[in-house]
């Protein structure tokens, strides 16, 4: 029987922080004791928190495609990504893989398959530090997104699918002027070229978005894959998500949409970088405003893995009355529950011994150790 004891720790439980010890036995949390009577590895007063659960990160894609036109070895990209994920205290990660080709990446299925195959191979071989699942980001206006879904969804690692539409004038960029300002320099196109691009995207949206959404929602529900909506901006968007059986509302862009999603029982997910920066990079509603309104359930690191832990320790400083256990739940228990992973996300006897040792040293929290199912991984 494998057993490890941690003592002299500030243990963040679901509803309080206690000073005490934890016994990990055979990959599970076996005992939690208050006080200092138990002898074990001295945590020196640092925090012990549950391993973080990340539902939406684009970070693997960033390692695979570090520069435009440059594609890295997918297993090497996965290893670099996994090291940073675990080092940030994340023990369960849903790697977001975009599906649906466009003019910039006409062979998207090949790239998506490289990443998905790498995640599955690394998990099967046992060399990944965190536990990795697949989150299929389904770009609805793409002509081949349903074919891509069919090619990649039927595997136990695919646990989440988000239906999204980044068409200019829709959802994230309801204002075409805002879209043009955001992408003009990034795309390096003249005003005439950008206008032609916009018109082509709008035509694809009109032709493909609705039938593709219906097909993917139907398939995901039949396969038991959790569904997320993306960038809901209006009451109509939320009503559509509710009718589709969506469980998670990712990045609602307005207070109206977030309020409606909350009323409908959807778990509301926002970006931790939004919290750290104090605002959305695209000018939409602030995640901190949603926390203050009681409308935020889950934080995602999105594009900066360490942002999860950084945001959790920032929020109680910024919002009066918000305790650390409640802030921590947005990156542990709440995402685990939304994804159907009831065996993790809390320091509770019987649950997985996914633990992170954190020193709360100004100006940032510092990860000093990470354990997944009782085994040290970082």
Q: What 3-state DSSP class applies to 23?
A: strand
Asked if pLDDT for residue 186 goes beyond 60, the answer is no
| Range 314-330 average pLDDT | 96
Query: Which residues share a beta bridge with 375?
Result: 372
What was the pLDDT predicted at 174?
A: 61
What was the pLDDT predicted at 180?
A: 61
Domain boundaries, the chain: 51-345
**pLDDT, tens only, 155-183:** 999 999 999 997 766 655 666 666 666 55
Q: Which of 159, 154, 163 is nearest to 135 (CA)?
A: 159
Q: Which CATH number fits domain 51-345: 3.20.20.140, 3.40.50.150, 3.40.50.300, 2.60.40.10?
A: 3.20.20.140
What was the pLDDT predicted at 179?
A: 65
Pairwise CA distance, residues 345 & 354, whole Å: 8
| Range 322-343 average pLDDT | 97
- Tokens read off for 39: 């002898």
Pairwise CA distance, residues 204 & 140, whole Å: 9
Phi and psi at 247, nearest 5°, equal -100, -25
**pLDDT, tens only, 78-120:** 999 999 999 999 999 999 999 999 877 888 999 999 999 999 9
| Range 297-318 average pLDDT | 95
Q: What 3-state DSSP class applies to 260?
A: helix
CB of 338 within 8 A of CB of 247?
yes
């Amino acid at each position: 029987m494998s057993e490890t004891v941690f003592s002299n720790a500030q243990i963040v439980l679901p509803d309080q922080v206690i000073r005490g010890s934890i016994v990990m036995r055979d990959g599970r949390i076996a005992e939690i004791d208050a006080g200092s009577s138990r002898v074990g590895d001295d945590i020196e007063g640092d925090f012990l928190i549950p391993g973080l659960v990340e539902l939406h990160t684009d970070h693997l894609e960033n390692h695979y495609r570090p520069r435009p036109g440059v594609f890295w070895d997918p297993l090497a990209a996965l290893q670099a990504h996994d090291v940073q994920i675990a080092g940030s205290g994340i023990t369960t990660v849903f790697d977001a893989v975009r599906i649906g080709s466009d003019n910039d990446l006409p062979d998207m299925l090949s790239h998506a398959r490289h990443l998905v195959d790498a995640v599955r191979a690394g998990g099967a071989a046992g060399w990944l530090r965190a536990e990795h699942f697949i989150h299929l980001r389904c770009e609805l206006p793409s002509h081949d997104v349903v074919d891509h879904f069919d090619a990649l969804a039927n595997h136990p690692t695919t646990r989440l699918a988000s239906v999204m539409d980044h068409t200019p004038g829709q959802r994230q960029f309801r204002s075409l002027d805002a879209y043009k300002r955001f992408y003009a320099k990034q795309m390096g196109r003249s005003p005439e070229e950008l206008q032609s691009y916009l018109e082509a995207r709008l035509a694809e949206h009109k032709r493909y978005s609705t039938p593709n959404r219906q097909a993917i929602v139907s398939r995901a529900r039949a396969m038991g894959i959790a569904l997320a909506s993306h960038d809901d901006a209006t009451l109509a968007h939320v009503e559509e998500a509710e009718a589709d059986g969506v469980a998670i509302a990712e990045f609602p862009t307005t207070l109206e949409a977030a309020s409606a999603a909350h009323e409908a029982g959807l778990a509301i997910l926002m970006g931790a970088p939004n919290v750290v920066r104090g605002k959305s990079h695209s000018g939409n509603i602030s995640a901190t405003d949603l926390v203050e309104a009681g409308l935020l359930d889950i934080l995602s690191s999105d594009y900066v893995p360490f942002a999860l832990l950084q945001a959790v320790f920032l929020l109680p400083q910024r919002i009066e009355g918000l305790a650390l256990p409640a802030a921590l739940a947005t990156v542990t228990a709440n995402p685990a529950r939304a994804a159907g992973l009831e065996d993790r996300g809390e320091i509770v006897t019987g649950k997985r011994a996914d633990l992170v040792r954190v020193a709360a040293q100004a100006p940032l929290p510092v990860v000093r150790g990470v354990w997944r199912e009782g085994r040290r991984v970082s």
